[in-house]
Structures are given as C-alpha cells and as structure tokens.
Chain A
Amino acid sequence: MNRSFSWKTVILLITLAIFMIFYPKLVDSYFLHLTVAAFLAMIMASSWDILARTGQVSVGQAGLFGIGAYTAALLYQKVHLPPVLGMLAGAIFAMIVAVFLGYLTLRLRGIYFAITTIAFAEALSVIWLMTPGVTGGAMGVSTPPLFNGNREHAYYLILVILALAIFVVWLIEKSRLNFAFTAIRENEEVANVMGINPTRYKVLAFMISAFFTGFAGGFYSHYNTYIIPYEVFGLGISIACLVMPIFGGLYTIAGPIIGTILIKAIEEYLRVTFSYGHQIAYGLILVAVVLFMPEGLLGLWKGRILPFFGRVRQ
C-alpha cells in the first residue's frame, strides 16, 4: 500500500503551486496565451485518458468539446449567462450527452466504438451547419472577450480546472474505480464475472471525461470569442486529445501532462520552421509509440532510462 502523502511530496506540491500562482507575473502576454492554450490541451488529454483507462478509445472528443463550446456561447448569446456559469453548463450538458451516447455505444468493442465517436462528431458538425436558426450555423457564434480581455484571470480559471482534473484523476487512481477500470480494460468478460458491470463503469468514465472536455469547450468559446462548427467539431481536436496522452504515457497522471508539454513545444518549433504539414509529426509519433514505446515516454523513462542509472524500479 503506497504512502500517499510524504513530506517531500507536500513540499514539492506547494512549491509548484506557488510557482504557478506567480507565473503570470513572470511571463509576457504572448507566452501566457501559449500557456493557457497548453493547459486547455492538458485538460483534454487528461480527460481522454480517463475513458481510455476502461479500454475505450474515443476519436470523437471534439463532439463533446463542441457541445460544451456551443452551450456556453449560445447561452450567453440568448440569455447573457455569465461566462463561467456558461462553461459549467457546457460541462454538464456534455456530461448528459455522454450518458446517453455512452449507454448506447459503449457496449461496442474498441474499433467500432472509435468509428462511432468519429461519426458522432462529424454528424454533429453537419447537423450544426444545417440548423442555423438554432445554432448559428456556418456563421458561428461570437462572445465578448473573457473577463474583458484580462488574460491573467483566464489563466487562473484554467489553472483551477486543470488542478481539479488532475485531482479527480488522482482520486480515481486511489479508489476502487482504478481497479474496476483496469479490470474492464484488461479483460471485460472476466471483469463481468467478477461482478463489475462494464457498461456502467465505462459510462461513468465517459461522464467524467465529458465534464472536463465540455468545460474546456466552454472556456475555449469565451476565450477565443468566436467559434464555428468546422473548428470546434473538427477531427484535429479529437486527434490531438489522443496523441498527447499516448505520447506521454497512458493510464498515468503525469503522462498526459508531459505529453502535452512536449507536443506543444515540438509543434511550436515545427510551425516556425516548416510551413506545411507539420502535423506529420503527430502521425510519426503515433506510429513510433505503438511500435517502439507502447507505454509512452513515461514508460520509456521508467523502463529503460531509469534502470540505466541504477535506480530501482518500483
């Protein structure tokens, strides 16, 4: 049984917290923007990982993201719901959709679930375009800048949500849920026999994942002030959500975080150096990870590099 709290951990966490709180004072506006974008990506990556723990791979997170984004934006537009409440509404609505979608589709095995999620996001995109009366259609929906453009406040908001997301993942790992999720992932039939109802747990994971993804969508719509269906339901978002945790290390807390940071850094570098198709890196990363390091960077670190330095693996 692991000691969950040791003094070293507490001190490290407090240092980290202080650093993060003073961070906006240390960097300029442009960098702060990059950081906010990175935090948003981390939330998406971590929440994707939650569902992945049950063995279900979603390639349609954009669907939930878009729902969250539009809920927040449309509620603001129609009833002037304050942004943060709008984001919360987006999160809750995405969660509700996830429950329905989940019960209907999570019985499907891996690939077919994945295909369904892609279809889900694309179908939403089409529906959105064809119903401009309700959704604003192709013209999109715009909202005034979040917190009147005060980027620091936006930063703190997203930081809190990110911390919450990480905390939730940590709670899952510490609880019986971890056992259930892992059992389902490794062998669903056996899990069933053991008394774990796979569908119910998968839906739970999907709900939690959807909450954060939906919130991220809501935040995105207010922060960027203007959303269109093509963008928020786009496949690019769904792919990004999965490349980051896979690269960093699946089914871990640190994996999605590390994966996001490195990918964002690589992306920025490539964007500045090449004009075209720097997304090719995503493809290469996916292939490389599956072939050579299925446990992602974290797995590489623990499995190959640490022992090299003579440390004992836990």
Chain B
Amino acid sequence: MKKKGVRFILGFCGMGLMLAGFLNVGSVMAQDTIKIGAVLPLSKAAFAQAGEEQRRGLLMALEEINQAGGVLGKKVELIIEDDTGEPSVGIAAAEKLLTRDKVVALIGGYSSTITFAQLNAIQRLEPFVAWVGASSTKVEHEFGPKRWFFHYHPWDYHRQSTIRDFLLTISPRPKTVAVAYEDGIYGTTSRDYVVKYLKEKGFEIVFDERFKSGSSDFTPMLTKIKKANPDVFYWVAYAGDTTLIMKQAKEIDLNLKLFLSVAINFPQYKESLGATGDYVAGVDVWIPGMKLSETIKWMEKFKKAYPGRTPEYWAPLAYTNLMTVIDAIKRAGSSEKEKLIAAMEKTDYNSPLGRLTFKKSEEGGLHQAIDEQIITQWQGGVSHVVWPANKATSKLIYPTPNWKKR
C-alpha cells in the first residue's frame, strides 16, 4: 500500500514538473524583438477592472509602435502576465518575465501590496522597472531611492495635498470636514494624510470613522455625519460603496456644502446614480473630458480601438507607460540597462495626461512622473475639471443645493 503511494508521488511529481516545464517552453521565442514585460491584475475581482483598462492602453500603444516600425529596427513584443491578485503569483510572474523571457523592462502594476512583495523579490536583479501602479508610500520609502525604479502613479499623499490645496481655494472657506474611509490600505493611508494636511491648515475634523468596504447600509454612519453638520464630507471608497453612500445620503436627506471623494469617474457612475450623483466633486488623475490637445487626440484613437467604451485613467496611463519606455529606448539608441536608465531620466513626453517628466518626490522617490492631480465635479451629468484653474473646464458649484430643491 505504501509502496504504491510512493510510486504515485514520484510519478505524479515527475508529470507535474514536466507539465509545468512544458508550459514555459513556449516562452522561448524569436530573438530579434524588443521584449517588454507587464504584470497586471486580470482576474481578481476588485482589481481586474483597472488591470483590463491598463491592458487596453498597452495594446493600443503596442500597435501604434509596431505600425511605425517598432524601435531600433526591431518589433516590440509585449508579454503580459496576470498576477491574479496574489503576491506570490505576482512574484512568480515578475521573475518569469525577468529571468526566462529576459524582458528589458518591467512595466504595469497596480496593487501596492503585490508591488512591495514583487520588488522585494526582484531587487537583487536590479531590473529596469517603469511602474504604473502602487500608491502606498511604503513602496516609495523602500524602493523610491533605487536608481532603476521609475514610478508613474501619484503617491497617496499627492491626492490628499490636492484636496487640501483645492479646499483652500474655495471661498468662503469651508471650516468643518467629516472624513469617512474604507478599512483597507487605500482608505487608511488616504485618511492619515488628509487629516494631517487639513489640520495643519486650520480645518476642523468633526467626524473621522472607517467603514467596511462592501457594506450594504451606510445610513447609521450618514446619520451620525448629519448630526455633526460639516461643511464638507470627504470619503475614500471604491465604486460600489460610493454609489450606496450617495443614494443613502439622499434618502436620509443629508445636506451639506460639498460632497467630496476620490474615485468618482468610474464608468458606471452616471449609470448607477443619475441625477443623484450631481454636484459631487472628486480628485482624479485624468478624465476623458480634459481639454488638452494630446488628450483629445488620444481619445480619438481610443474610440476607434474600443468603440462605445469610456476609459478610466488607467488606460492612458498604461499607454503612456509603454510609450515613454519605448521613447527612452529610442533616445538611448539601445535597450541596455544603464543607457536606458539615463535616457529615461531625461524623459520629456507629451502624454494624454499632460507633460510628463520624472522628478524627485517628497518621501524619497527619485523618479516620479505624476504629482499633480485635478478636481472634477459632476454638473448636469457631465464630469468637469474645476481645479486647477489652468486645466478647468467649468467653475465649481458651491455650496451644493439642497436635495429638495434639485
């Protein structure tokens, strides 16, 4: 009995190894392409939307690049791996791209946790990384100072400093703020920074509580906020929660001067809220309605490639990600790492998100692409940029009209 067991173990081990080995033989491909590797979350429920959006952006860029002949006379090959939302799979994917596929650059990314685990595992290889994801300053502290690490997405504090700067420009200046945040890393870090920044500038925080993301009932919390009667209600949550919060705020007749949040430009916002979503403002990286010439051009391309879709900022961000890497390779005249790093540092690219260069960031990062964000507000079913003034497409409507008067 036991003999058979052992034999089975051996046999199946062998089979399993061979199976997995064969799966990866396929990655040995043609030598005369420039290989770029991307790790995206494509199958985990909470992350997949952003991952898919990134993929669309990447594929758009890839096609454009190869249509124009590739770079350095070779075609560009993009290998996308799914991290499935698990750190150990993320690590495996990054390692595979670097050691087996021998990509010249590692791009993509989304979750701060997975990013942290991945970078920890691969830093001994000192790879060239141009990373779109991760907003946690944990990543910035640990890997920001590494010369091979280039980072695009704003860090958590960038959002909050934008909120602060925006609130300071409202007149008459709001005095009291209620803060609610989802209980994950996203909410918690955001809250820590925003409370710090706002208190520094003299705002009074009259409510400060976390909630469980995915709750079905926010009325107890909203009722408490109603009692506290703040000028501004600022919350940090994912799409589903934001939808419910606004619906229920209307139900209990919560009226205040400004509803302010973070992600309010997700595609289903209008669908799910309709008129209830008007007057809500939020901080964002980019919206399709921005009036920059590059944005308009890029939106044309996007509409052709994906008719009927409204992009979230991950798409132009990922597009820019690949474009700037290829641009750096072109300027460097080579895909060799040191030359690539040097060229990347000198990036000055006109992207659909605006002019892109790499600068130092406040908490240790050497190469940060985006540090400025915008404030948008839904007005009459259209999302407008209302701050900063040089990017605005409309004026902020403040204070928000009462529910009953709408």
Contacts and interface: CB of A to CB of B under 8 A. Distances in A.
Q: Do A and B come together as binding partners?
A: yes
A277 interface: yes
Nearest to B8: A254
A29 B43 contact: no
A170 B9 CA distance: 14
Interface in B196-220: 210, 212
Contacts of B121: 33, 145, 149, 225
Given A33-B91, A271-B84, A298-B8, A138 B16 contact: no
A50 B4 CA distance: 20
A169 to B, nearest CB: 11
Contacts of B99: 28-30
Given A126-B212, A268-B20, A138 B8 contact: no
Interface in A133-172: 137-140, 142, 145, 149, 170
Given A29-B95, A272-B23, A228 B5 contact: no
Highest count of chain A CB atoms <10 Å: which of B8, B21, B48: B8
Nearest to B101: A30
Nearest to B84: A271
A289 B185 CA distance: 38
Given A31-B20, A33-B95, A12 B6 contact: yes
A224 B87 contact: yes
B151 to A, nearest CB: 17
Interface in B237-271: none
Interface in A239-293: 252-254, 257-258, 261-262, 264-265, 268-269, 271-272, 274-279
A220 B24 CA distance: 25
Q: Main SS of chain A's interface residues?
A: helix
B42 A129 contact: no
Interface in B1-47: 1-10, 12-13, 15-16, 19-21, 23-24, 42-43
B11 to A, nearest CB: 9
Highest count of chain B CB atoms <10 Å: which of A16, A145, A170, A261: A261
A175 interface: no
A301 interface: yes
Highest count of chain B CB atoms <10 Å: which of A223, A225, A262, A272: A225
Contacts of A230: 184
Contacts of A132: 188
Interface string B259-290: 00000000000000000000000000000000
A13 interface: yes
Contacts of A137: 183, 188
Interface of A: 2, 4, 6, 8-9, 12-13, 15-16, 28-31, 33-34, 37, 126, 129-130, 132, 137-140, 142, 145, 149, 170, 220, 223-226, 228, 230-231, 252-254, 257-258, 261-262, 264-265, 268-269, 271-272, 274-279, 298, 301-302, 314
Interface of B: 1-10, 12-13, 15-16, 19-21, 23-24, 42-43, 48, 52, 82, 84, 86-89, 91-92, 95-96, 99-100, 113, 116-117, 120-121, 124, 138, 183-185, 187-189, 210, 212
Given A137-B183, A277-B43, 9 more contacts: A13-B6, A30-B96, A30-B100, A139-B138, A223-B88, A226-B113, A226-B117, A261-B13, A261-B16
